[in-house]
């Protein structure tokens, strides 16, 4: 199951036509032939420092850092002291390798040596300042950022570096001055606002940071970094982000991008009514036209339990474009909710006919097959989803559930639950790792409840998701009072997924055991306004 944050960013980047991040290049036959040629030259002359350096650069470009390090070491070993250019390049390359492998102190040593050869090299000076900053050597970093500014009075690197150091020295007024001066130096550059936003966040000025990120997007709506930062900030300070976007909409009511970003962030935080309102505004005001808007509205209506409207919207989206493989996944979900398992299976199959390796479509296929009581086929389908996406714990949980509940293979089920337990480092996991459920279903209830208690303690649960999962776990563990307490906290924090509360019965990650209890119904009535 993809994390919600990944989903929201993918939606936003797609809608705003932001290019995908380039993948790391793979060693191709031409490059491999070149590497073989380098090896022949080195075999002929084992002290050929220039060839070592050239090959080190190639290894570095392909992220083969150990091989690059070996070659650059050889280059420095054999290069004469009077070969300043070669030694400078080699030292800078080795510093980059050390930085990429987390060895900042070693990188600093090489940058110092490189700057002894060329003291005013701007790029190397900037790199050293950043390494010093990362090492907590703020005084040294400040001196280097000041040198950058002296070398170039319009140096954004110097100004923002001095601003960050000023924040570390708790001189917030000076930090503001440097950041504002940087913006005044290049007001038409989108990235300058993103960088000032970073400084403002360091200062605790989230409102100002949001305003800057919106300015960055207003200047260039393909500013990938600004968009990601805005999404990330919504986890930390949802109110500040939504207030900033609302202010932007008041000032520019015909900019569909702002409505769309606000809608998808609201959707990300389970505020489906607010999201629908913005999506509908975009459609009704003809601010932006894309079938994905209807798919997003369908997902919101599905979550709110309005399956008829979800069906209408997703059918419209599917009919509006041939590029609709993901839309059929949504249709499959809606059809299952409407108790139309045959049609859900058909929708999943249509998605797979367009995108055969789509793990989400395979998961929906498996769930539809469960509804149709074709359990072995369901197990096979979710197994294929796992092959295509081995990092999503929810798929393992579905496989374990099918094996345990329907195929009477509890030992096989335990194998998949154990894989969930071991999928991530326990010290570096989120509520979405589902580890506690896997512990519970392998008979480790004490460890499972300890896990969920730790998650609740460490999670501010700004949108109710953590307490929803806690309600599920306690419900499945036979602890209804605790489950209902968590349910109330989840609803109070805004978790408005009516489908999850009322209908979701999949994979034993649900509140099914609570639904016949009087308090369950009274809580839904108490918080009905969020739906």
Phi, psi of 238 (to 5 degrees): -60, -40
Q: What is the pTM of this model?
A: 0.84
The 10s digit of each residue's pLDDT in 355-393 is 999 999 999 999 999 999 999 999 999 999 999 999 999
pLDDT at 21 > cutoff 90: no
Q: CA-CA-CA-CA torsion for 471, 474, 480, 482, nearest 10 degrees?
A: -70
pLDDT at 1 > cutoff 70: no
* Sign of the CA dihedral with 464 first, then 467, 473, and 474 last: negative
pLDDT at 9 > cutoff 60: no
Q: What is the mean pLDDT of residues 308-322?
A: 97
**Which own/partner pairs from 434-439 qualify as long-range (CB within 8 Å, at least 24 positions apart)?**
434/393, 434/394, 434/397, 434/509, 435/393, 436/469, 436/473, 437/397, 437/472, 437/473, 437/476, 437/508, 437/509, 438/393, 438/396, 438/397, 438/400
The 10s digit of each residue's pLDDT in 142-154 is 999 999 999 999 9
The 10s digit of each residue's pLDDT in 74-84 is 999 999 999 99
Domains of the chain: 29-118 (1.25.40.10), 271-377 (1.25.40.10), 391-531 (1.25.40)
Distance CA 366, CA 444 (A): 27
Among 386, 518, 387, 527, residue whose Cα is nearest residue 467: 527
In this prediction, residue 140 has a pLDDT band, given cuts at 50, 70 and 90, of very high
């Amino acid at each position: 199951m993809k994390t919600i944050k990944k989903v929201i960013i993918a939606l936003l980047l797609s809608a705003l036509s932001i290019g995908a991040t380039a993948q790391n290049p793979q060693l191709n036959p031409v490059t491999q032939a070149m590497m073989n040629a380098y090896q022949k030259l080195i075999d002929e002359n084992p002290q050929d420092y220039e060839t070592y350096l050239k090959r080190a650069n190639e290894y570095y470009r392909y992220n083969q850092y150990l091989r690059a390090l070996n070659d650059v070491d050889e280059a420095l070993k054999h290069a004469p002291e009077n070969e300043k250019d070669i030694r400078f390049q080699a030292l800078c390359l080795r510093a980059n390798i050390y930085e990429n492998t987390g060895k900042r102190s070693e990188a600093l040593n090489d940058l110092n040596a490189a700057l002894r050869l060329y003291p005013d090299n701007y790029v190397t000076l900037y790199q050293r300042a950043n390494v010093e900053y990362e090492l907590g050597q703020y005084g040294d970093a400040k001196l280097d950022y000041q040198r950058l500014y002296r070398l170039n009075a319009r140096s954004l690197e110097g100004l923002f570096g001095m601003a960050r150091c000023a924040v570390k020295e708790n001189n917030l007024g000076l930090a503001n001055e440097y950041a504002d001066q940087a913006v005044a130096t290049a007001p038409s550059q989108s990235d300058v606002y993103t960088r000032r936003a970073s400084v403002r966040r360091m200062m605790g000025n989230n409102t100002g940071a949001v305003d800057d990120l919106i300015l960055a997007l207003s200047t260039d709506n393909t500013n990938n970094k600004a968009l990601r930062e805005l999404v990330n900030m919504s986890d930390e300070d949802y109110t500040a982000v939504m207030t900033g976007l609302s202010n932007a909409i008041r000032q520019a009511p015909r900019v569909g991008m702002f409505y769309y970003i606000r809608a998808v962030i609201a959707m990300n935080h389970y505020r489906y009514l607010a999201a629908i309102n913005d999506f509908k505004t975009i459609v009704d005001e003809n601010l932006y036209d894309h079938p994905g808007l209807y798919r997003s509205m369908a997902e919101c209506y599905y979550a709110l339990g309005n399956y008829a409207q979800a069906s209408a919207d997703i059918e419209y989206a599917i009919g509006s474009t041939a590029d609709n493989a993901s839309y059929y996944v949504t249709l499959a979900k809606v059809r299952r909710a409407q108790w139309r398992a045959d049609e859900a299976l058909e929708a999943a199959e249509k998605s797979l006919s367009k995108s055969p390796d789509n793990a989400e479509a395979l998961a929906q296929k498996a769930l539809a097959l469960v509804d149709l009581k074709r359990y072995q086929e369901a197990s096979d389908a979710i197994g294929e989803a796992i092959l295509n996406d081995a990092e999503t714990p929810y798929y393992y949980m579905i496989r374990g559930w099918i094996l345990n509940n329907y195929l009477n293979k509890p030992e096989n089920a335990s194998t998949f639950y154990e894989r969930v337990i071991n999928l991530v480092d326990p010290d570096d996991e989120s509520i979405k790792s589902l580890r506690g459920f896997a512990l519970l279903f392998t008979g480790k209830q004490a460890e499972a409840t300890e896990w969920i208690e730790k998650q609740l303690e460490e999670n501010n649960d700004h949108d109710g998701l953590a307490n929803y999962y806690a309600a599920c776990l306690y419900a499945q563990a036979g602890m209804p009072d605790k489950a209902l307490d968590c349910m109330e906290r989840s609803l109070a924090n805004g978790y408005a997924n009516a489908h999850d509360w009322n209908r979701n019965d999949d994979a034993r990650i649900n509140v099914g055991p609570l639904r016949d209890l009087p308090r369950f119904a009274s809580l839904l009535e108490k918080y009905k306004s969020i739906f």
